[in-house]
């Protein structure tokens, strides 16, 4: 190899292992800035809230309607498991006429971390072994063509 090839190859080989050490940040959900939140006041209509904050991540109709804007920021360094560095739930509570009656801005410091992505609903089929599922299917009743 000539000297020019070494001049390019050596820095590349030194930099390659270091490339995995950098931290990457991932943002999930609907991030609401403090400036956006300051534009929503008690007494604002649902339409005004949606215009400023956008569509909510989820809604609730228990004890009056509520909008929830949920976001999470994770950082990953190299091959390590991701760390949650920020988690935010902005709650907008409406009165019966559809106007903001209260607001909440909850973060990691307000409670335990809730992992929204990994919750799974159990299904009945997973509780039975293969033979049990086959036998239950055979006794399903009329209309079953075996």
CATH topology of domain 20-111: Beta-lactamase Inhibitory Protein; Chain:B, domain 1 (3.30.1450)
Q: How confident is the model at residue 115 (pLDDT cuts 50, 70, 90)?
A: very low
The answer to whether the CB of 93 falls within 8 A of the CB of 100 is yes
pLDDT for res 118: 45
User: Would you call 103 helix, strand, or coil by DSSP?
Assistant: strand
Of residues 67 and 123, more confidently modeled: 67
Residue 116: how many CB atoms within 10 A of its CB? 14
Average pLDDT over residues 52-76: 89
For residues 22, 27, 33, 36, the Cα torsion angle rounded to the nearest 10 degrees is: 150
- CA 100-93-107 angle, 5° bins: 120
pLDDT for res 41: 93
Mean pLDDT of the chain: 76
Of residues 131 and 91, more confidently modeled: 91
pLDDT for res 32: 87
Q: How confident is the model at residue 116 (pLDDT cuts 50, 70, 90)?
A: very low
Cα–Cα distance measured from residue 139 to residue 135, given in angstroms and rounded to the nearest whole number: 6
Cα–Cα distance measured from residue 61 to residue 114, given in angstroms and rounded to the nearest whole number: 21
Of residues 113 and 83, more confidently modeled: 83
For the entire predicted model, the pTM comes to 0.59
Residue with tokens 């360094």: 77
Q: Give the closest residue to 29 by CA, choosing from 51, 58, 50, 5.
A: 58
Q: Does residue 117 have a pLDDT over 60?
A: no
- CA 63-64-66 angle, 5° bins: 110
Q: Give the closest residue to 67 by CA, choosing from 52, 78, 57.
A: 57
pLDDT tens for 76-106 read 887 778 888 888 889 999 999 999 999 988 8
């Amino acid at each position: 190899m000539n000297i020019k090839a070494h001049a390019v190859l050596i820095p590349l080989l030194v930099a390659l292992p270091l490339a995995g050490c950098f931290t990457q940040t991932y943002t999930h959900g609907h991030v609401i800035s403090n400036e956006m939140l300051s534009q929503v006041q008690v007494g604002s209509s649902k339409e005004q809230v949606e215009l400023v904050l956008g569509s909510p991540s989820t809604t609730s109709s228990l004890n009056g309607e509520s909008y929830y804007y949920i976001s999470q920021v994770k950082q990953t360094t190299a091959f390590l498991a991701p760390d949650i560095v920020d988690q935010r739930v902005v709650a907008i509570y409406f009165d019966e006429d559809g106007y903001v009656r209260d607001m909440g801005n909850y973060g990691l410091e307000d409670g335990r971390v809730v992992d929204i992505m990994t919750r799974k609903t159990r299904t009945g089929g997973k509780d039975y072994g293969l033979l049990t599922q086959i036998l239950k299917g055979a006794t399903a009743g009329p209309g079953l063509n075996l």
